[in-house]
A and B are shown apart, each in its own frame.
Chain A
Amino acid sequence: EPEVTQTPSHQVTQMGQEVILRCVPISNHLYFYWYRQILGQKVEFLVSFYNNEISEKSEIFDDQFSVERPDGSNFTLKIRSTKLEDSAMYFCASGPFHPATGWTSGSTDTQYFGPGTRLTVL
């Protein structure tokens, strides 16, 4: 069964350094997402991406963050200058169609999550 993959599984970095988290969405999916989960807290939406541009972003997704789909398979999240509070699990997700389409039809086939990258900022 196809799945979303993420690399690395664990990234340790120094405060102020740039990190790039990588995701390979399921191949025929068109909608891509990043979420984060600080240890013991809620999963929080960061950004959605469709047709090579950001569709939605949350307040968390400030100028320090950027996303890119550099080729036909990868979807990346870049944090330019990491802070201690960026330490979290970062989840990538992909979906075959817009959530509204899926949910209107009752389909649950909207978002498939990767296993996550644990980012530790020292």
Chain B
Amino acid sequence: SQQGEEDPQALSIQEGENATMNCSYKTSINNLQWYRQNSGRGLVHLILIRSNEREKHSGRLRVTLDTSKKSSSLLITASRAADTASYFCATAASGGSYIPTFGRGTSLIVHP
């Protein structure tokens, strides 16, 4: 299966701490994306990293990609209570469909 799998399934931290979530996948990818989903809401696209990139930044977000290990990490620095949400990685297979395949997500709770 192409899908990404996030780790941990749940993460609980204090405001101001950093949160790190990991995603592993099984086959070669074209790109990997991270999404956020607030409870009962739709998905919000956070960042896309292509297979030839190793690191990307967007504000307090830092994403790394290690294609040799078939893994990615999402780091949220200086977390805020508003970062409380589920975070999903989604992979698009190389040479195949560009439709992203989602993992089960990491549920992040940031305590004020």
Contacts and interface: CB of A to CB of B under 8 A. Distances in A.
Contacts of B44: 113
Contacts of B50: 103, 106
Contacts of B11: none
A69 B8 CA distance: 40
18 contacts: A33-B99, A41-B104, A42-B3, A45-B101, A93-B43, A99-B98, A99-B99, A99-B100, A100-B98, A103-B48, A107-B48, A108-B47, A112-B45, A113-B42, A113-B44, A114-B42, A115-B41, A116-B41
A80 interface: no
A57 B63 CA distance: 29
Contacts of A93: 43
Given A43-B43, A99-B98, A116-B42, 15 more contacts: A42-B104, A43-B90, A44-B102, A48-B99, A99-B92, A100-B98, A106-B50, A108-B45, A108-B48, A110-B45, A110-B48, A111-B45, A113-B43, A114-B42, A116-B40
Interface residues of B, number: 25
B100 A45 contact: yes
Nearest to B48: A108
A94 B14 CA distance: 35
The winner among A33, A41, A106 for most chain B CB atoms within 10 A is A106
Interface of A: 4, 33, 41-45, 48, 56, 91, 93, 98-100, 103, 106-108, 110-116
Contacts of B88: 42-43
Contacts of B68: none
B99 A106 contact: no
A98 B42 CA distance: 21
B64 interface: no
